[in-house]
Amino acid sequence: MSSAPTAAPDGARTFAHVLVNTLVANVTTSFLWFALTFWVYLETRSVLATGIVGGAYMLMLALFAMLFGTLVDRHRKRAVLVGSSLVTMASFAAAGALYAVVGPGAIVDMSGPWFWLFAGIVLFGSVVESMRNIALSTLVTLLVPQNRRDRANGLVGTVQGIAFIVTSVFSGLAIGQLGMGWTLLIANVLTIATLVHLFFVQIAEDRPEFAADAVPTVDVRGALAAIALVPGLFALIVLTTFNNLVSGVFMALMDPYGLTLFTVEQWGLIFGLASTGFILGGLMIARWGLGANPLRTMLWVLVAMGVINATFTLREWPWLCIGGIWLFLLLVPAVEAAEQTIIQRVVPFRSQGRVFGFAQAFESAAAPVTAFLVAPIAEFWVIPHLDSEAGAQQWAWLVGHGDARGIALIFWFAGLVMVFLALAAFGTRAYRILSERYRDGEVVAESSDP
């Protein structure tokens, strides 16, 4: 049985509108969030501060993802897009007002309440905007024919790459040249623009059959039931979760590493240049797809990403850092598209919001755990040890000499862990079962759906 309604004749056009709208929304929240991270580090020079900010984002994403997934399944997708835009707009407006009233000096003081309130408001608005990504994943199922979904997911990756380019370049330039006040103003204007555009976008969709049912606001039970009906699906989520545990290391330490080698403007431009890899990776998937077995493709890509993560900081060579980030981002769309394509194929449409939400919650919860652990370990133990004469001599054979050798050492071991996890997954029973299910095109019957 099909996992979704037949794609509408004008589905491609509607999908393009939603994709562009999501691009602008993602650009806006990423622009402000990148800027906040840059600003906090430049004002405090604290790796711990950036680790807390980055980890808090992933933690909040994990806490809210199941709610978002349930809302996506319970309501029309266009209503979800409009609602998330309204909440984000209100949050960013409140952050701008707080900045104007309190002033940057009080806000950047981590010992006072204003920093945490300001960061929390920006964080909340950014996290709510992420609900769009769950809705977009289900809209691929609704609007795109099954044999084109991996390519559509590649376009989603391309859009994320474009957002990465724009935000990384302009966040650095905005903080370096304009300051946080103007950055907040720009974010507010763009948020309003996406909301206005949504009023001109119409999506042909039925009201969910169970919208009026007495169901939990956060339907964890329904998500688990839907996942349990697909053998091997939970193992896929667990694998991605372990990968995110490793990724939390890079989330906590990448900006401090880059800002040690480059100015904030240079770092933003470098991330923008490297993000062309993200765009190219998404376009490659949009053109050629993911092959007969997206899960196998995903595992080999994770192996390659682990090798890159272990080696791109072994020397403080700018070209090595830039090239490593470019190659890493080239591969990221394949991992995201593979997981989405598998879920879109084997999970019924009416359950996909909850499954995507559960996956996002489960996977996102891993990164802040690592970030909160690694940031203090890096700042108070590894970095001081590598900065000492004894530590520098002990590890110079591997990471060379420089100002950020402690971070490089952490990246080395984290990358090796990623390689090991991906290779080990090939030998699991879950890999074989889920690969066979995808190949045979088996989809859980709608009647079995919770």
pLDDT tens, position by position, for the chain (450 residues)? 444 455 555 677 888 888 889 888 888 888 888 788 778 777 776 766 766 776 677 778 777 888 888 888 888 888 889 999 999 999 999 999 999 898 877 887 777 788 889 888 998 998 888 888 888 888 888 888 877 888 888 887 777 667 766 776 777 778 777 888 888 999 999 999 999 999 888 887 777 765 445 556 666 677 777 777 777 788 888 777 777 677 677 767 887 888 888 887 788 778 777 778 888 888 888 888 888 888 899 999 999 999 998 999 999 888 898 899 899 888 888 888 888 888 888 887 778 888 888 887 777 766 666 767 787 888 888 888 888 888 888 998 998 888 888 888 999 998 998 899 889 989 888 888 888 878 776 554 444 445
Q: For residue 303, is it within any domain?
A: yes
Q: Given the structure tokens 């090239």, which residue do they identify?
A: 323
What total number of domains does the chain contain? Answer: 1
Q: For residue 448, is it within any domain?
A: no
Token digits for 128? 């709510």
Q: For residue 6, is it within any domain?
A: no
One-letter amino acid at 358 equals F
Q: For residue 450, is it within any domain?
A: no
Coil/strand/helix, residue 45: coil
Token digits for 96? 């701008």
Q: For residue 210, is it within any domain?
A: no
Token digits for 379? 């700042």
Rg (CA), the chain: 22
How far is Cα of residue 242 from the mean position of the Cα atoms in its chain? 15
Cβ atoms within 10 Å, residue 423: 14
Q: For residue 207, is it within any domain?
A: no
- The answer to whether 40 and 175 are in contact (CB under 8 A) is no
- The answer to whether 297 and 338 are in contact (CB under 8 A) is yes
One-letter amino acid at 291 equals G
* Distance (Å, whole) CA 130 – CA 30: 10
Per-residue confidence (pLDDT) for residue 447, from 0 to 100: 40
Q: For residue 25, is it within any domain?
A: yes
Question: How far from 145 is each of 7, 21, 345, 348, CA to CA, in Å?
Answer: 6, 21, 11, 14
pTM of structure = 0.70
Per-residue confidence (pLDDT) for residue 50, from 0 to 100: 67
* Distance (Å, whole) CA 131 – CA 66: 10
- The answer to whether 55 and 372 are in contact (CB under 8 A) is yes
* Distance (Å, whole) CA 330 – CA 278: 5
* Distance (Å, whole) CA 33 – CA 49: 14
- The answer to whether 140 and 152 are in contact (CB under 8 A) is yes
Spatial neighbors of 380 by CB under 8 A, at least 6 apart, are none
Per-residue confidence (pLDDT) for residue 310, from 0 to 100: 92
* Distance (Å, whole) CA 102 – CA 114: 8
Nearest to 190 by CA among 161, 173, 172, 170: 170
CATH of the domain at 438: 1.20.1250.20
Q: How many helices (H) and strands (E) does the chain have?
A: 20, 0
Q: Which domain holds residue 152?
A: 11-201+219-442
Q: For residue 328, is it within any domain?
A: yes
